[in-house]
Structures are given as structure tokens and as C-alpha cells.
Chains A and B, each alone.
Chain A
């Protein structure tokens, strides 16, 4: 179907199913119950899942296939956001032109930055991309203030021209898709559960599915095979008559455009853009998502993005009060001790958890969650086989005895 193999079609269908029913799947706990804080099915968080999913899918096309580790991809995310907000300010609150411009601008910047950075490989490439991203970040904070609005960040104002929309009346206008407002949400109550279906989420989700589908196509294409060949042996590529430079550049630009799309969507959901979106720790985050999920695998980056955004959200919301509730069943001393031990890792300490997670994954699970799942799967299968052996042995003995 759709030009995909059976296996990939099934994967795509599974991903589509999960994203489309996410508002239900991610809200397994009844609203108002004690566990409701673990629900992730509210629009704001679900949007971040899919948007960072797009970012990571794109990053994976570069890093997962070619092995080029960019430490500056957040720059394209930032450029996407700025472009989108400018479109909202100048043209229209419709998200389509904004997103188109985000993708184009990020693609152009990626073309220039990639053209220069890809002249080197290995850690030199990483440092070049890092240098470019830091330059963009520093400039966005300082001289480019007329474009980026410096530290405050770029925002909508009432006096923006918005040529197509005409003058706005009353408050600030909101982003929309041909009249359907992004923030529109229908809440469905079923028994004790409540599920939010928002226009913004579904808009992002559809784009993520499209982005995912395209990445599957790229992975299975001759182009994707060439990218894996680049990772494996550039020398052989050259002596096989293949020019590696345009291949890597194309991968870089494509992944930059994915980042631009993600940045544009961030702005479409919440029309403001700040320079901190371009900082190199933000670049580190997408690296982490991709690696945590499983670089070079199709589904890994999406899993990684979801995993990190979920725990970021949950961990930063948990506070000592909640911890005390959890451990209330323990004797007081033990309860306090538990809370004290966990305290550094929650709330504002989420980054500490993130850093540790990063290290643990790189050390013990370089293939990420996908590899982890495969390993566990294999373990179980082997155990089943052993069980079969035991059974058949027993059967044979029985047969012999009779």
C-alpha cells in the first residue's frame, strides 16, 4: 500500500492509529482521579509529542542514515519559528503560508550551512554545525533584534499589518486553518473520563504522519541506500563513481526542512518565537531523542521524542507534596528519606534526570529503545524455545517409557 512493503505499511498504520486516537489512549486515567496527573492526553502536550517527533524524524534522516552528527539543528527549528511568526504578523493568521515559509527558510539556511559544514566530517562537522548554530543564536539575541525582537522574543501585536486578514478588532487574533482555529477543542465526556480533541493537535498529527511516511520512503529508496553507504564507506563511494557531497547535502537540507516544519508548527500552536529555541542545548535535545529512541530506525525518533517530552512534562510537574502522598504508606522517617532522595530528580531537576538518561542510553543501549525492545523480544522468544525443548524432551521420555 502507498508504495510500501507490508511490514512498513503495518508500522505506518500502527503509528497512524496511535496518533489519531492519542487523545483517548493517552488519557487512561479518569479525570480527577489521583493518577490523572499521569495523563498526557491534553492538546498542549500532545502537540509537543508530534512536533518534536517531526524534528527527530528529520534529524534521524541525517544522523541515522549518514552518521553525520549535527549539533546545530536547533538553529533550523528557531528559523522555522521566526519565519512563521513573521508570516502571522505580515500576511495572515492562516497556518499554511506560515508553515510553507518555515520550511523554505529552514531549507535555505540548511543549504548554506550544510554546504560549508559538509566539507568536513567527523567531529569537525559537529563543531562546524555547533559554531553556526551558536552564531545564529548570538545574532538573534543581539544585532538581529529588529527581526527577532531579542530577549523578549517575537510576538504578535495589534498593529501588525496582516495584509490578507485586514485589521484585527478587539484582542490578538489566533492562528487558524482556513477559519478552523488551532486552539479549538471539543471535550468528550465518557463516564469519568474526559477526552480533548483539538484542531491544533490533529493538524500537527496529520503533518507528522506525512513526515513519517516520507521518511519511510526515503529509508527504502535508492537515495536512502546511498546515505547508508556514505556512513559505511565514503572512500568506496567515491571510487564507485558516486559523489558523496550532494548526497549528504541533500540529507542535510531535508532534515533542516523537517526542523523548519517543526519550528513553524511550534509557532502555529503558540505564535511566539525566542532565541533560546536555537541554543545548542536544544540541539542536544533532538540528538538525545533520536539516540534514545534508536538512531537509524524508523520508529525510534518518534518514540524518543514522545518519551522525553512525556517525562519532561511529568517529572517537572511532580513536587514534594505529591511525593509525600505517594510514600505516605511508609513510616515517616522512611517517607522523608525517600522524598529527599527523589527530590533532586523531579521538578526543576528534570534536566539532571535527562542527563543521566542520556549517559545510560549511550553506555548501555546504543541502539536505543528500539534495540531494547528487540533484545527483550529475543529473550522471550528464546525462553519459549527452551520451554518447547523441555516439553518435547519430556514427551520423548514419556514415549520411550511406554
Chain B
């Protein structure tokens, strides 16, 4: 029982990331009809917002401390981050410590802007072009974005730790009446899970309760009719793209303590997220979220040693296998509407 629970918990954080990326992909596909292969790159840019903020916050002045000497007997050079100078050592250290959550504040405007520029500058011109062209041009963009990041940040993963308050793990087992240490779960993963929950709830609430959201949902159901009503769909689409970009970016920001950001993380997650979208049902938002969590959990089950010894390599391919089976037996996915992209 506790073994199963552990796997479910382990699957949650990956599942959350899949769900968030797939949610954005689905929003874009459902509203704009665009297949965005650069969506993983948005996730990566989000992660690098956290890296950037961390770098900015740790920018330091070098001062000479005459009272201390290094072991050559010279006065010691001390690096003090500007923030510690400005806010005092303790406050400054706390700010640096909290770089990752603070990066959310940086990521929201950055991601929305990136989204706007992408949609206005590129995607807009591809609404009427075939899906193959959309895939190709966004694939090219994904390569460009990842190479730009590599150019500025190098090829190695950059560790971006969680605030020290969230280091360590929670002994969930004890809560649930199992033996101590039977189920332990890192705090930050819990944070990520709740964070994802809030974002997902936020997006759904936004679509459900605002007029903007209503129009968008109507547009997803039937684009032509909404266009005929004379509603300026274009502007909303741009906003939608910005929103989807922000969701992917925030997913990236908060994921950095779990996976040290590297330039190819976007591509890695993209392929899986597409699979998630397909499994959930192309164009279905709840489907994307459900499939994201399901596949995350499934993957973590497949990486149990018991399973791996039974079916070697299953952890590497389980998601793809599921996707293939779903595509062949139920092309509209778990929750997709009939007829959407069914061929």
C-alpha cells in the first residue's frame, strides 16, 4: 500500500509539469488551431528566468576587508551581493534564498511578452497554413530559442536550489499511520504540486467566469460562429497565447529546484507533453490535465524496480506505448470531443 502511495506521490511533480505544459499546448491548439512545437522552449525560458534572477540577486561587489587576511597574509577580498548591502546581510540572504519563488514576478511579464512577440511576429502568419508548416516553423523556433539559451548560459545544467525553508522532506507516512520514514516526500515537490493545482484552477476559473474566457471557450467549440458574431477574436488570441506562454513559463520557474535547468529541457518535455495532449484528447483542457497526472504517475510506477525487473526498459517507453495504444484505439483521446481532429 505505501509502495503504491510513494509511486503516486513521485508521479505528481512530473505529472504537474506535464499537465501545465499540456494545458498551454491545448489552449493554443484549441483556440488558434496551431500546433506549437516551441512550447517546450517556453517552459525552458521560464526555468531560465529563475536562473537569471538568481544571477542578478547574487551580483556582488568586491570589497577588501582589512581586518581579515588570507593565508598569504594579504587583506582578504570579500564578495558581498548588492542586495545584502542594500537590505542588510540577513534580509539580503533571505532574498537570495528565495530567488526561485521570486522569479515568478519576473517570469510573468517576461513570458507574456515573449508570448505576444511570438504570436504577433510569427504564429499569426501561420493560422491558415497547413499543420505541417506550423510544426516545421515552430520546430525551427524551438531550435533557435534553445541555442540562444545555450549561448548565454552554457551547456551545463545550472543548479537553482529551493528556499532553505523547503529543503528536506515531509514524512507523510506517519500522518497516514504507516511506519515513520516509510513515505517521505520532499517539501518542494509538494509545493510544486500545489502550485500547479493553483495555476490550473486559476486558468479554469478564468475561462469559466470571465467574459473573455467565455468567448475563448466558444471559440474553441466553434471558431467560425464566434468570428461571425463580429467579436474581435484576433486580440483575444494574442492574449491567449500570452497566457499559455505564462503558464508554461511558470511551470518552468518552479521546476528548477527539481531539475537543474539546461538548454535541452524544453525539447525533452515537449515530446512528452505532446503525447500527453494526444492522450488527453486534442483540444480538451480537462483531458490535458488528467492525462498529464495519469502519465506522470504511470511513469513513476514503471520505474519501480519490481516492474522493471519484470519488463526491462518499460520505464523508458511506457508513455509512448500508452500514447500509441490510445491513438489507435481511441483517437479522440480520453476526454476529447468526437470529431475534433479525428481523421
Contact = CB atoms under 8 A, between A and B. Distances in A.
Real complex partners, A and B?
Answer: yes
Contacts of B148: 344, 352
11 contacts: A119-B328, A122-B343, A123-B135, A138-B317, A142-B313, A143-B316, A287-B139, A344-B148, A357-B140, A362-B136, A366-B133
Contact of A135 (B35, B131, B132, B317): B317
A130 B271 contact: yes
A122 B343 CA distance: 8
A90 interface: no
A341 to B, nearest CB: 13
Contacts of A97: none
A382 B87 CA distance: 71
Contacts of B341: 122-124
A132 B324 contact: yes
Interface in B289-334: 312-313, 316-317, 320-321, 323-324, 327-328, 331
Nearest to B136: A362
Contact of B140 (A122, A132, A280, A355): A355
A358 B139 contact: yes
A133 to B, nearest CB: 9
Given A144-B313, A355-B143, A356-B144, A132 B327 contact: no
A148 B132 CA distance: 33
Contacts of B137: 358-359, 362-363
5 nearest A-B residue pairs (beta carbon):
A355-B143, A143-B313, A358-B140, A138-B316, A352-B147
A351 B264 CA distance: 13
B113 interface: no
Interface residues of A, number: 43
B132 A67 contact: yes
A134 B144 contact: no
Contacts of A124: 278, 327, 331, 341, 343
A144 B343 CA distance: 35
B42 to A, nearest CB: 15
Contacts of B151: 344, 349, 352
Interface residues of B, number: 36
Interface in A135-156: 135, 138-139, 141-144
B274 to A, nearest CB: 6
A354 B143 contact: yes
Given A120-B327, A128-B323, A355-B144, 10 more contacts: A126-B132, A127-B275, A131-B320, A132-B324, A280-B271, A287-B139, A344-B148, A352-B151, A362-B136, A362-B140
A141 B313 CA distance: 10
Which among A116, A143, A288, A349 has the highest number of chain B CB atoms within 10 Å? A143
Nearest to B155: A348
B215 interface: no
A59 to B, nearest CB: 13
Given A127-B327, A354-B143, A355-B140, A139 B313 contact: yes
B267 interface: yes
Contacts of B131: 122-123
Contacts of A243: none
B133 A127 contact: no
A131 to B, nearest CB: 4
B316 A139 contact: yes
B289 to A, nearest CB: 19
B128 interface: no
Contacts of A132: 320, 324
A127 B147 contact: no
Contacts of A119: 328
B154 to A, nearest CB: 11
Contacts of B142: 355
Contacts of B312: 143
Nearest to B152: A344
A167 B57 CA distance: 64
A121 interface: yes
Nearest to A136: B317
B147 A351 contact: yes
B274 A127 contact: yes
Contact of B144 (A121, A126, A138, A359): A359
A377 interface: no
A291 interface: yes
A401 to B, nearest CB: 53
B125 interface: yes
Nearest to A351: B147
B190 interface: no
A352 B144 contact: yes
A355 B327 contact: no
Nearest to B277: A127
A232 interface: no
Given A127-B274, A143-B313, A135 B140 contact: no
Which among A120, A127, A128, A352 has the highest number of chain B CB atoms within 10 Å? A127
A68 to B, nearest CB: 9
B141 interface: yes
Contacts of B275: 127, 131
A284 interface: yes
Interface in A230-251: none
Interface string A58-79: 0000000001010100000000
A157 interface: no
A287 B136 contact: yes
Contact of B267 (A143, A281, A291): A281
Contacts of B133: 362, 366
Contacts of B274: 127, 130
Nearest to A343: B151
Given A124-B278, A363-B137, A116 B328 contact: yes
A121 B341 CA distance: 10
A20 to B, nearest CB: 33
Nearest to B316: A138
B181 to A, nearest CB: 30
Contacts of B125: 363
Contact of A131 (B135, B144, B323): B323
A123 B343 CA distance: 10
Interface in A335-357: 344, 349, 351-352, 354-357
Contacts of B328: 116, 119-120
A184 B267 CA distance: 41
Given A352-B151, A358-B143, A127 B136 contact: no
Contacts of A126: 132, 135
Which among B132, B135, B151 has the highest number of chain A CB atoms within 10 Å? B132
Contacts of A351: 143, 147
Nearest to B145: A355
A352 B147 CA distance: 5
